[in-house]
A = this chain, B = another copy of it.
């Protein structure tokens, strides 16, 4: 299947607004003490957001724009005393396509701005997509 070499372009649908500015200070995962943050969407995608409500649990996909794309092994959790591992068995932001997955709750909605819980992404991180958390088969 690898006879061609396509590239695809992603386009941010919004940006994270967060007090987190410094990668060294940011929690490793959202459930490790990350603060609430705003998702500030582009007005042009408003129709795509219209059913989302306070209390919903969503998966935010981000582009981790401060990550390194040229590494395939990392020390887990940035700890140099731990043996280096392949990036695909870690959640390191450093990886060939640095896409972040963040499971959060919606705390407030103001037009195309959503306040969400526990987001470890840095201020200014581009948002690529929002997906609902899937419920049981019968509710789809």
Listed in ascending order, the chain A residues whose CB lies under 8 Å from chain B are 1-2, 6-17, 28-29, 31-32, 40, 42, 45, 47-52, 56, 58-59, 61, 63, 65, 72-73, 76-77, 85-91, 95-97, 99, 101, 124, 126, 128-132, 134, 137, 140
**Are A11 and B72 also in contact (CB < 8 A) when A6-B126, A40-B1, A51-B89 are?**
no
Count copies of this chain in the complex: 2
User: Are B31 and A96 in touch, CB under 8 angstroms?
Assistant: no
- Chain B residues lying within 8 Å of A52, measured Cβ to Cβ, are 86, 88-89
Most-contacted residue by chain B among A40, A49, A58, A87 (CB, 10 A): A87
B99 and A128 within 8 A (CB) = yes
